[in-house]
Every structure is written in structure tokens, then in C-alpha cells.
Amino acid sequence: TRKPEAPRHNDDVTVIGCPALEKLGGDTAAGSGLDFARKAKVAFTYTASSTSEVSEELYSDSSAKLSKGISKVFDAMLSCPSYQVASGSTLVDMGTAKSAAPKLGDEQWSQLLTFTAGGQRSVVKQTAIRIGNILVLVSGSPRLVDAHLNKALTRARAAR
């Protein structure tokens, strides 16, 4: 089921304890800081549970700009194995770890993010694949990302 996109209000997002991410700003920490010429995002949910969500983002720009932009974000996130994100009055403990990316496309990036807030813990996998001037970013539960990555790449290749 397609999940409606929530309005983005990241003005109050602050990164604590990760200078590289602090430098990029709160939008990047909240997952909306990629600034490319064209972009589209859709999220899906399989059940009412947040552990069954997967989102696909599609970006288009020059190959060099895509590579530089996504590398900058992944490198910043991976430079701090743990940090905190404050959004309003909510404090979220974050953890990042590099993950093996499948050898697809021209370039690949992958990481596991751990979110802990209010005693609840969630793990999200993000995998980005660049194919020429298109970047596909799939995020969600690790199993769903692995299961849907090839489908997302197939759709991206067909749209070229």
C-alpha cells in the first residue's frame, strides 16, 4: 500500500555529537537534504507496523553531482558511529554502520541506521545505487530493502 508522504517540517531538527552531520544541517539528518535537479519519492507499507515500510527515492542530475552529493551524506553519517538527533522535544539516539552494497550500477553505497527513542529501537537499511545520471535510494527494514532494490533499479532503468 502506498503510504502518503508526511509534510516535512525539519526546521527544528538538530544533530548533536556528529560534527560532519551538524555541518550538513538538520534536513540531511532527517533524510531530506539531498539537493539534485530532479527528485521523486514514494513510501510503501505492508502492514500497519513501521517495521514493514520501504521508501524509494529517485534522483537525476549529472553523474559527478550525484556521486559527490550522496558520498558526502553517507560519509558524514558513517563518520559518527553514534550521535543524537533532536526534533522538537524528542531526542533520538542514532547509530550508523556501513553495510555491504550489492555490485549493481556504476556506484553503490549502503548503511544500517539504528534509531532508539522512548525505549523503542528500529533498524533501517539505506542502499543507494547510481546508474549514469540516475540515483536510486531505497530505505526501510533491511529485508524489504534487499527484496525491493532490484525492482527499483529495473523501474529506474526503464525510465531512462
pTM: 0.83
Rounded mean pLDDT for each run of 10 residues along the chain, 160 residues in total: 50 84 71 67 65 84 93 92 89 94 94 92 94 93 91 83
> Would you state the pLDDT for residue 7?
47
**Start-end of H helices in the chain:** 19-24, 26-29, 63-78, 142-159
Residue 73 corresponds to which cell in the numbers above? 551524506
Name the residue among 76, 75, 39 with its Cα closest to residue 58: 39
Name the residue among 40, 33, 8 with its Cα closest to residue 135: 40
What does the CA dihedral 62, 67, 70, 72 come to, rounded to 10 degrees? -120
> Would you state the pLDDT for residue 156?
84
CATH 3.40.1000.70 correct for 2-159: yes
> Would you state the pLDDT for residue 50?
55
